[in-house]
Amino acid sequence: MNIKNFSVFKGNSLKTALALIEKNNNGIIFATNKASAVIGALTDGDIRRYLLSGGSINDKIEKCVNQDFVWFSKDTEREKILKNLDNQIKVIPLLDSKKNLVSVISREHFPIDKEIKTYARCMAPARISFGGGGSDVTHFFSENKGAVINSTISLYSHALLRKRSDNKIKIFSYDLQKKLNADSLKNALKKKSELPLIQALIKIIEPEFGFDLFIRSDFPVGSGLGGSSVVSAAILGCFNEFRIDKWDLHELSEICFQAERIHMGISGGWQDQYATIFGGLNFMEFKKDQNIVHSLRLRPEIKLELEESLILCNTGKMHKSGDIHDDQKKSLKENNIKNLVSKNVDLCYSQRNMLLRGKINEFGKSLNDAWNYKKQFSTKISSQEIDNLYEGALKNGAAGGKILGAGGGGYFLFFSEPFKRDKLINYLSDQNLEIRDFQFDDDGIRSWSIRETN
């Protein structure tokens, strides 16, 4: 509506008011003072009654204006306006803080709000792995059977993304305390930075807009919790919020893998990407033609008991998973190492059955076998210090355990025997190791978008 056809100075004549009423075709105008503030409303009925009582068409509008009229602030909630329109009111003026007319609402004209800017958030969970490690790399399962068991936990990477009105790109990682600023996508990709993983991701995504991106995680770099894949998933989840044709879980996993393994050339497996995106406790099978994610549905009390029996602690040592995977890739050419990985896969199938049958203590002890297999894959996976830590844990209430991720450092996962948890925790605390509480995460990647004005 053209609000000029609804606003008239109070000193003008009733004839002028009638001409505007005829023009706006809504049977009403709003009288203003010299400051353009609305002081009242005037309908064609008001004018007719004034003239019938002896008034003149040339009299000023202020003589018969109705100062008791319904109006709302321009920020009034839509619900309140609708209720008034539904209660026999036909036209409602919207006024600003100075009572200037900014819009006119009627039963025939009440447009919805224009789309406003939004930002996207995503949180992706870290994972702990129980068995089958080493078999999820392509060069192994192309010729052999690959399988792993893992679960996501309540430690997350968080990403925050918003579109810009220009083509600039600004990225900041709280974990690394590094940033990347560029005036275009092309220059962001060419720029030498300390955030190569994020550059690899945006190269694949090819966003058609400038953006601000912020990333932080609940766990340190080199933790063995699948961190790089978790960060990638969180970033992808944000960009997915701005897509009409959204990527599904398999596509998200594959893009994560592509960025890390293909574009960056970092050696490693497939389980981390599927774990963080699908979420939950999963048994995964890897084959030459297809990767399959099987969700393990445990009885609630079994799952809670498993959660209570696991202890996660930080060795305080960072690792470079790519270096360890490179070394492991070379060792996998040896038949004895291939046999060990295959045994680890067989153990993984047994672990799956233990969990499904509720044999928690047997499962906990099987982690010891998984660790003994794993540390033989490469000389870089364990060390004398790590071996001493593990032996001490076994003597102080642990039934089994294993280092997470590629190895060499990061987090160690222990299974405590019933009634020995406190003893194990005291031992680990005496070694000055950080213990991280966690719960199982069943949701995997979670993303959402919010209006910036909320």
Q: What is the pLDDT of residue 326?
A: 62
| Rounded mean pLDDT, 107-121 | 89
Phi, psi of 58 (to 5 degrees): -95, 0
What the block records as the tokens of 42 is 């005037």
Mark whether 38 and 135 lie in a shared domain. Answer: no
* Residue 268: pLDDT over 90: no
Q: What is the mean pLDDT of the chain?
A: 92
**pLDDT band for position 336 (cuts 50, 70, 90):** confident
Mark whether 193 and 286 lie in a shared domain. Answer: yes
* Residue 390: pLDDT over 90: yes
155 in a structural domain: yes
For 27-163, where are the E strands, in sequence order? 28-32, 38-43, 72-73, 91-95, 101-106, 118-131, 146-163
Domain end among 106, 140, 167? 106
Question: pLDDT tens digits for 412-445?
Answer: 999 998 899 999 999 999 999 999 999 999 999 9
* Residue 247: pLDDT over 60: yes
Domain count, the chain: 2
Mark whether 89 and 124 lie in a shared domain. Answer: no
Mark whether 37 and 150 lie in a shared domain. Answer: no
DSSP string computed for 378-410: -TTS--HHHHHHHHHHHHTTEEEEEE-TTSSSS
Residue of higher predicted confidence among 119 and 139 = 119
- What's the CATH code of the domain at 8? 3.10.580.10
| Rounded mean pLDDT, 268-280 | 95
Domain that holds residue 167: 119-436
* Residue 151: pLDDT over 60: yes
Mark whether 32 and 177 lie in a shared domain. Answer: no
Question: pLDDT tens digits for 90-112?
Answer: 999 999 999 999 999 999 899 88
For 145-233, where are the E strands, in sequence order? 146-163, 169-173, 178-182, 211-217
> For the chain, first and last CA: distance in Å?
28
Mark whether 78 and 136 lie in a shared domain. Answer: no
Q: What percent of the chain has pLDDT over 70?
A: 96
How far apart are the C-alpha atoms of 343 and 219, rounded to whole Å? 31
**pLDDT band for position 329 (cuts 50, 70, 90):** low
52 in a structural domain: yes
How far apart are the C-alpha atoms of 399 and 416, rounded to whole Å? 6
* Residue 401: pLDDT over 70: yes
Amino acid (1-letter code) at residue 258: Q
Longest CA pairwise span in the chain (Å): 112
What residues contact residue 356 under an 8 Å CB cut-off, 6+ apart?
296, 298
* Lowest-confidence region among 195-204, 227-236, 404-413: 404-413
113 in a structural domain: no
What residues contact residue 431 under an 8 Å CB cut-off, 6+ apart?
389, 392
| Rounded mean pLDDT, 390-394 | 96
pTM of the model: 0.85
Domain end among 106, 139, 173? 106
* Residue 278: pLDDT over 80: yes
Identify the CA nearest to 110 among candidates 222, 1, 229, 272.
1
Q: What is the pLDDT of residue 112?
A: 86
**pLDDT band for position 148 (cuts 50, 70, 90):** very high
Mark whether 62 and 158 lie in a shared domain. Answer: no
Q: What is the pLDDT of residue 134?
A: 86
Mark whether 81 and 225 lie in a shared domain. Answer: no
Please count the CA atoms within 13 angstroms of the CA of 406 that sit on its side-chain side: 28
Mark whether 102 and 151 lie in a shared domain. Answer: no
Mark whether 124 and 56 lie in a shared domain. Answer: no
Question: pLDDT tens digits for 49-83?
Answer: 999 999 999 999 999 999 999 999 988 999 999 99
* Lowest-confidence region among 147-156, 218-227, 378-387: 378-387
- Residue ranges of alpha helices (H) inside 143-192 are 185-190
**pLDDT band for position 320 (cuts 50, 70, 90):** low
299 in a structural domain: yes
454 in a structural domain: no
**pLDDT band for position 334 (cuts 50, 70, 90):** confident
